[in-house]
Structure 1
Amino acid sequence: MTRVLITSDSHGLTQELTEIMNQHEVDWYIHCGDSELDFDAEVLHPFYKVGGNCDFDPRYPTEEIKDIDGIRFFITHGHLHQVKSGLTTLAYAAEEQEAKVVCFGHTHIAGAEKIGEQLFINPGSIRMPRNRVEKTYAVLEWLDNYNVSIEFYTVEGQRVESMSYSTTL
Protein backbone atom coordinates (compact mmCIF):
# COMPACT_ATOMS: atom_id res chain seq x y z
CA MET A 1 0.00 0.00 0.00
CA THR A 2 1.19 3.51 -0.83
CA ARG A 3 0.12 6.49 1.25
CA VAL A 4 0.57 10.17 0.34
CA LEU A 5 -0.17 13.05 2.71
CA ILE A 6 -1.34 16.17 0.83
CA THR A 7 -1.60 19.65 2.33
CA SER A 8 -1.85 23.21 1.08
CA ASP A 9 -2.36 26.79 2.14
CA SER A 10 -0.68 26.51 5.54
CA HIS A 11 0.16 30.26 5.39
CA GLY A 12 3.10 30.36 7.79
CA LEU A 13 2.14 27.51 10.12
CA THR A 14 5.01 25.23 11.11
CA GLN A 15 4.03 23.48 14.37
CA GLU A 16 0.78 22.31 12.77
CA LEU A 17 2.66 20.85 9.77
CA THR A 18 4.92 18.94 12.15
CA GLU A 19 1.92 17.64 14.10
CA ILE A 20 0.19 16.53 10.90
CA MET A 21 3.27 14.64 9.75
CA ASN A 22 3.52 12.92 13.13
CA GLN A 23 -0.12 11.75 13.01
CA HIS A 24 0.26 9.49 9.96
CA GLU A 25 2.61 6.87 8.62
CA VAL A 26 2.93 7.80 4.96
CA ASP A 27 5.38 7.19 2.13
CA TRP A 28 5.28 10.65 0.53
CA TYR A 29 4.38 14.25 1.36
CA ILE A 30 3.00 16.92 -0.97
CA HIS A 31 2.49 20.62 -0.23
CA CYS A 32 0.45 22.46 -2.87
CA GLY A 33 1.75 25.94 -2.08
CA ASP A 34 1.17 29.02 0.02
CA SER A 35 3.29 27.74 2.86
CA GLU A 36 4.72 31.27 3.13
CA LEU A 37 7.98 29.66 4.28
CA ASP A 38 11.44 29.65 2.74
CA PHE A 39 11.92 26.87 0.22
CA ASP A 40 14.49 25.20 2.47
CA ALA A 41 12.51 25.55 5.72
CA GLU A 42 13.20 22.46 7.81
CA VAL A 43 9.53 21.54 8.24
CA LEU A 44 9.15 21.34 4.44
CA HIS A 45 12.13 19.02 3.82
CA PRO A 46 10.11 15.83 3.32
CA PHE A 47 7.60 17.51 0.96
CA TYR A 48 7.36 17.71 -2.78
CA LYS A 49 6.42 21.37 -2.86
CA VAL A 50 5.37 24.13 -5.20
CA GLY A 51 4.99 27.86 -4.83
CA GLY A 52 1.70 29.65 -4.52
CA ASN A 53 0.67 33.25 -4.96
CA CYS A 54 1.77 34.00 -1.36
CA ASP A 55 5.18 32.29 -1.68
CA PHE A 56 7.93 34.71 -2.60
CA ASP A 57 11.01 32.47 -2.50
CA PRO A 58 11.99 32.19 -6.20
CA ARG A 59 13.31 28.64 -5.69
CA TYR A 60 9.78 27.25 -5.59
CA PRO A 61 8.71 25.66 -8.86
CA THR A 62 5.21 26.52 -10.05
CA GLU A 63 4.56 22.88 -10.98
CA GLU A 64 5.98 19.46 -10.12
CA ILE A 65 5.48 16.21 -12.00
CA LYS A 66 6.18 13.17 -9.81
CA ASP A 67 5.78 9.48 -10.52
CA ILE A 68 4.87 7.74 -7.27
CA ASP A 69 4.58 3.95 -7.37
CA GLY A 70 3.27 3.87 -10.92
CA ILE A 71 0.97 6.90 -10.74
CA ARG A 72 1.90 10.25 -12.26
CA PHE A 73 1.07 13.30 -10.12
CA PHE A 74 0.70 16.88 -11.31
CA ILE A 75 1.26 19.23 -8.37
CA THR A 76 0.57 22.96 -8.51
CA HIS A 77 -0.98 25.68 -6.41
CA GLY A 78 -3.65 26.50 -8.96
CA HIS A 79 -3.56 30.27 -9.16
CA LEU A 80 -1.82 30.15 -12.56
CA HIS A 81 -4.54 27.76 -13.82
CA GLN A 82 -7.48 29.91 -12.69
CA VAL A 83 -8.86 27.15 -10.42
CA LYS A 84 -11.29 29.57 -8.78
CA SER A 85 -13.09 29.68 -12.16
CA GLY A 86 -13.06 25.92 -12.81
CA LEU A 87 -10.71 23.01 -13.45
CA THR A 88 -10.54 23.03 -17.26
CA THR A 89 -7.20 24.85 -17.60
CA LEU A 90 -5.70 22.71 -14.85
CA ALA A 91 -7.03 19.52 -16.47
CA TYR A 92 -5.40 20.40 -19.80
CA ALA A 93 -2.06 21.17 -18.15
CA ALA A 94 -2.14 17.85 -16.27
CA GLU A 95 -3.19 15.96 -19.39
CA GLU A 96 -0.19 17.36 -21.29
CA GLN A 97 1.98 15.74 -18.60
CA GLU A 98 -0.02 12.48 -18.71
CA ALA A 99 -0.87 12.88 -15.01
CA LYS A 100 -3.61 10.81 -13.39
CA VAL A 101 -3.67 12.60 -10.03
CA VAL A 102 -3.85 16.40 -9.86
CA CYS A 103 -3.05 18.02 -6.51
CA PHE A 104 -3.78 21.72 -6.07
CA GLY A 105 -4.81 24.33 -3.52
CA HIS A 106 -5.49 28.08 -3.77
CA THR A 107 -9.26 27.94 -3.25
CA HIS A 108 -8.96 26.68 0.36
CA ILE A 109 -11.94 24.42 -0.48
CA ALA A 110 -11.31 20.75 0.35
CA GLY A 111 -12.55 18.11 -2.03
CA ALA A 112 -11.76 15.21 -4.34
CA GLU A 113 -13.41 14.22 -7.60
CA LYS A 114 -12.60 12.21 -10.66
CA ILE A 115 -13.27 13.94 -13.96
CA GLY A 116 -12.64 11.76 -16.99
CA GLU A 117 -9.39 9.91 -16.33
CA GLN A 118 -8.02 12.42 -13.82
CA LEU A 119 -8.41 12.52 -10.04
CA PHE A 120 -8.42 16.08 -8.64
CA ILE A 121 -7.53 16.57 -4.97
CA ASN A 122 -7.65 19.85 -3.09
CA PRO A 123 -6.72 19.22 0.55
CA GLY A 124 -8.26 22.49 1.70
CA SER A 125 -6.37 24.73 4.10
CA ILE A 126 -4.95 24.00 7.54
CA ARG A 127 -5.15 27.71 8.38
CA MET A 128 -8.12 29.39 6.64
CA PRO A 129 -10.64 26.90 5.23
CA ARG A 130 -13.50 27.99 3.00
CA ASN A 131 -16.94 26.36 2.75
CA ARG A 132 -16.22 24.26 5.88
CA VAL A 133 -15.30 24.97 9.46
CA GLU A 134 -12.70 22.17 9.56
CA LYS A 135 -9.09 23.01 8.77
CA THR A 136 -8.18 20.07 6.53
CA TYR A 137 -5.52 18.05 4.74
CA ALA A 138 -5.83 14.77 2.84
CA VAL A 139 -4.28 11.30 2.78
CA LEU A 140 -4.43 9.37 -0.48
CA GLU A 141 -3.76 5.63 -0.46
CA TRP A 142 -3.83 2.79 -2.96
CA LEU A 143 -2.88 -0.81 -3.48
CA ASP A 144 -1.27 -2.28 -6.59
CA ASN A 145 -4.62 -2.41 -8.42
CA TYR A 146 -5.00 1.40 -8.33
CA ASN A 147 -8.18 1.42 -6.29
CA VAL A 148 -7.57 4.69 -4.47
CA SER A 149 -9.16 6.23 -1.41
CA ILE A 150 -8.87 9.75 -0.08
CA GLU A 151 -9.54 10.60 3.53
CA PHE A 152 -9.67 14.16 4.81
CA TYR A 153 -8.51 15.01 8.33
CA THR A 154 -8.61 17.98 10.66
CA VAL A 155 -5.38 19.48 11.94
CA GLU A 156 -6.03 17.53 15.15
CA GLY A 157 -5.98 14.27 13.18
CA GLN A 158 -9.74 13.60 13.26
CA ARG A 159 -11.15 12.00 10.10
CA VAL A 160 -13.84 14.08 8.38
CA GLU A 161 -16.29 11.24 7.75
CA SER A 162 -18.46 13.06 5.23
CA MET A 163 -15.54 13.68 2.88
CA SER A 164 -14.24 10.15 2.21
CA TYR A 165 -13.81 9.43 -1.51
CA SER A 166 -12.85 6.26 -3.41
CA THR A 167 -12.32 5.56 -7.11
CA THR A 168 -10.19 3.59 -9.55
CA LEU A 169 -7.44 5.17 -11.64
Structure 2
Amino acid sequence: MKILICSDSHGLTEELIELKKRHGDMDYYIHCGDSELSADHPALDGFQVVKGNCDFGADFPNQLALNVAGHKLLVTHGHLYNVKSSLTSLRYKALEENANIVCFGHSHVVGCEMVDDILFINPGSIRIPVLRKEKTYVILEIKNEQKTVQVYEYGKDTLFTETF
Protein backbone atom coordinates (compact mmCIF):
# COMPACT_ATOMS: atom_id res chain seq x y z
CA MET A 1 0.00 0.00 0.00
CA LYS A 2 1.48 3.35 -1.05
CA ILE A 3 0.09 6.73 -0.03
CA LEU A 4 1.28 10.16 -1.21
CA ILE A 5 0.75 12.80 1.47
CA CYS A 6 1.09 16.55 0.93
CA SER A 7 -0.11 19.68 2.68
CA ASP A 8 -0.10 23.45 2.68
CA SER A 9 0.10 23.98 -1.08
CA HIS A 10 -1.59 27.39 -0.67
CA GLY A 11 -3.04 27.87 -4.14
CA LEU A 12 -0.60 25.78 -6.19
CA THR A 13 -2.24 23.72 -8.91
CA GLU A 14 0.33 22.52 -11.45
CA GLU A 15 2.44 21.10 -8.65
CA LEU A 16 -0.42 18.92 -7.39
CA ILE A 17 -1.06 17.64 -10.92
CA GLU A 18 2.67 16.94 -11.31
CA LEU A 19 2.78 14.95 -8.07
CA LYS A 20 0.04 12.65 -9.38
CA LYS A 21 1.86 12.24 -12.71
CA ARG A 22 5.24 11.56 -11.12
CA HIS A 23 3.81 9.10 -8.60
CA GLY A 24 0.99 7.50 -10.58
CA ASP A 25 1.24 4.17 -8.76
CA MET A 26 -0.21 5.38 -5.42
CA ASP A 27 -3.18 3.70 -3.76
CA TYR A 28 -4.18 7.00 -2.13
CA TYR A 29 -3.39 10.71 -2.51
CA ILE A 30 -3.95 12.73 0.65
CA HIS A 31 -3.90 16.51 1.06
CA CYS A 32 -3.76 17.63 4.69
CA GLY A 33 -5.37 21.02 4.07
CA ASP A 34 -4.64 24.60 3.11
CA SER A 35 -4.91 23.88 -0.60
CA GLU A 36 -6.87 27.15 -0.91
CA LEU A 37 -8.72 25.51 -3.82
CA SER A 38 -12.37 24.66 -4.30
CA ALA A 39 -13.41 21.07 -3.68
CA ASP A 40 -14.14 20.61 -7.40
CA HIS A 41 -10.81 22.02 -8.63
CA PRO A 42 -9.21 19.62 -11.16
CA ALA A 43 -5.83 19.78 -9.37
CA LEU A 44 -7.45 17.98 -6.41
CA ASP A 45 -8.95 15.15 -8.50
CA GLY A 46 -8.07 11.88 -6.83
CA PHE A 47 -7.02 13.50 -3.54
CA GLN A 48 -8.63 12.88 -0.17
CA VAL A 49 -8.66 16.44 1.22
CA VAL A 50 -9.34 17.99 4.63
CA LYS A 51 -10.04 21.60 5.46
CA GLY A 52 -7.23 23.82 6.68
CA ASN A 53 -7.37 27.20 8.41
CA CYS A 54 -6.86 28.96 5.03
CA ASP A 55 -9.53 26.98 3.16
CA PHE A 56 -12.30 29.55 3.52
CA GLY A 57 -15.60 28.44 2.08
CA ALA A 58 -14.15 25.14 0.88
CA ASP A 59 -16.42 22.16 1.22
CA PHE A 60 -13.92 19.82 2.89
CA PRO A 61 -14.33 17.88 6.14
CA ASN A 62 -12.21 18.84 9.16
CA GLN A 63 -10.95 15.27 9.34
CA LEU A 64 -11.04 11.94 7.55
CA ALA A 65 -10.67 8.43 8.90
CA LEU A 66 -9.44 5.87 6.38
CA ASN A 67 -8.97 2.13 6.85
CA VAL A 68 -5.87 1.17 4.88
CA ALA A 69 -4.03 -2.14 4.85
CA GLY A 70 -5.24 -3.03 8.33
CA HIS A 71 -4.39 0.40 9.76
CA LYS A 72 -6.64 3.29 10.68
CA LEU A 73 -5.42 6.61 9.28
CA LEU A 74 -6.62 9.90 10.75
CA VAL A 75 -6.17 12.90 8.45
CA THR A 76 -6.60 16.46 9.70
CA HIS A 77 -4.94 19.81 9.10
CA GLY A 78 -3.80 20.25 12.69
CA HIS A 79 -4.89 23.80 13.48
CA LEU A 80 -7.80 22.51 15.60
CA TYR A 81 -5.29 20.54 17.72
CA ASN A 82 -2.59 23.18 18.28
CA VAL A 83 0.08 21.13 16.50
CA LYS A 84 2.44 24.10 16.38
CA SER A 85 2.81 23.73 20.17
CA SER A 86 2.72 19.97 20.70
CA LEU A 87 1.16 16.73 19.50
CA THR A 88 -0.68 16.12 22.78
CA SER A 89 -4.20 17.17 21.65
CA LEU A 90 -3.79 15.36 18.34
CA ARG A 91 -2.54 12.26 20.18
CA TYR A 92 -5.71 12.26 22.29
CA LYS A 93 -7.83 12.59 19.14
CA ALA A 94 -5.97 9.66 17.56
CA LEU A 95 -6.60 7.54 20.65
CA GLU A 96 -10.27 8.54 20.60
CA GLU A 97 -10.52 7.50 16.92
CA ASN A 98 -8.42 4.32 17.41
CA ALA A 99 -6.05 5.61 14.72
CA ASN A 100 -2.51 4.28 14.55
CA ILE A 101 -1.35 6.65 11.78
CA VAL A 102 -2.04 10.39 11.81
CA CYS A 103 -1.38 12.69 8.85
CA PHE A 104 -1.47 16.43 9.47
CA GLY A 105 0.00 19.74 8.30
CA HIS A 106 -0.40 23.35 9.43
CA SER A 107 3.11 23.94 10.81
CA HIS A 108 4.81 23.53 7.39
CA VAL A 109 7.52 21.53 9.23
CA VAL A 110 8.20 18.11 7.72
CA GLY A 111 8.61 15.23 10.12
CA CYS A 112 7.53 11.81 11.30
CA GLU A 113 7.64 10.25 14.73
CA MET A 114 6.17 7.39 16.69
CA VAL A 115 4.37 8.35 19.91
CA ASP A 116 2.63 5.63 21.95
CA ASP A 117 2.49 3.29 18.92
CA ILE A 118 0.90 6.02 16.78
CA LEU A 119 2.82 7.19 13.71
CA PHE A 120 2.51 10.97 13.24
CA ILE A 121 3.38 12.28 9.76
CA ASN A 122 3.63 15.93 8.73
CA PRO A 123 4.61 16.20 5.04
CA GLY A 124 5.71 19.83 5.41
CA SER A 125 4.73 22.22 2.63
CA ILE A 126 5.22 22.13 -1.13
CA ARG A 127 4.94 25.93 -1.19
CA ILE A 128 6.28 27.55 2.00
CA PRO A 129 8.56 25.22 4.00
CA VAL A 130 9.51 26.07 7.58
CA LEU A 131 12.81 25.14 9.30
CA ARG A 132 14.31 23.97 6.00
CA LYS A 133 14.52 25.29 2.47
CA GLU A 134 13.22 22.19 0.66
CA LYS A 135 9.57 22.06 -0.40
CA THR A 136 8.45 18.63 0.78
CA TYR A 137 5.87 15.87 0.54
CA VAL A 138 5.81 12.28 1.77
CA ILE A 139 5.17 8.80 0.47
CA LEU A 140 4.07 6.30 3.10
CA GLU A 141 4.47 2.64 2.22
CA ILE A 142 2.76 0.06 4.40
CA LYS A 143 3.78 -3.61 4.23
CA ASN A 144 2.10 -5.65 6.97
CA GLU A 145 3.16 -3.94 10.19
CA GLN A 146 6.15 -2.11 8.67
CA LYS A 147 5.64 1.52 7.76
CA THR A 148 8.23 3.34 5.64
CA VAL A 149 8.08 7.12 5.31
CA GLN A 150 10.00 8.63 2.39
CA VAL A 151 10.35 12.41 2.45
CA TYR A 152 10.75 13.96 -1.00
CA GLU A 153 11.87 17.39 -2.09
CA TYR A 154 9.38 18.62 -4.70
CA GLY A 155 10.84 18.26 -8.20
CA LYS A 156 13.82 16.29 -6.92
CA ASP A 157 14.54 13.03 -5.11
CA THR A 158 14.18 11.53 -1.66
CA LEU A 159 15.60 13.62 1.19
CA PHE A 160 15.40 10.89 3.82
CA THR A 161 13.63 7.68 4.74
CA GLU A 162 12.41 6.44 8.13
CA THR A 163 11.09 2.97 8.88
CA PHE A 164 8.79 2.16 11.78
Query: Shorter-chain-normalised TM-score: which range?
Result: over 0.9
2:94 is paired with a residue whose SS is helix
Asked whether 1:111 is paired with 2:111, we answer yes
1:85 is paired with a residue whose SS is coil
Q: CA deviation at 1:88?
A: 0.3
Cα distance in 2 for partners of 1:75, 1:40 equals 19
Spell out structure 1 runs of 4+ moving beyond 4 A: none
Q: How many residues align?
A: 163
Please name the residue that 1:14 is paired with: 13
Please name the residue that 2:162 is paired with: 165
Gaps of 5+ in 1: none
Please name the residue that 1:152 is paired with: 151
Q: Is the 8 A contact 1:3 1:141 kept in 2?
A: yes
Cα distance in 1 for partners of 2:162, 2:80 equals 26
Cα distance in 2 for partners of 1:157, 1:39 equals 28
Cα distance in 2 for partners of 1:117, 1:26 equals 25
Letter of the 1:117 partner, please give it: D
**Taking structure 1 as the reference length, what is the TM-score of the superposition?**
0.94
The CA RMSD over aligned residues, in Å, is 0.9
Q: Is the 8 A contact 1:39 1:57 kept in 2?
A: no
Letter of the 1:108 partner, please give it: H
Once the two structures are aligned, what percentage of the paired residues are identical? 47
Letter of the 2:17 partner, please give it: T
Cα distance in 2 for partners of 1:74, 1:4 equals 13
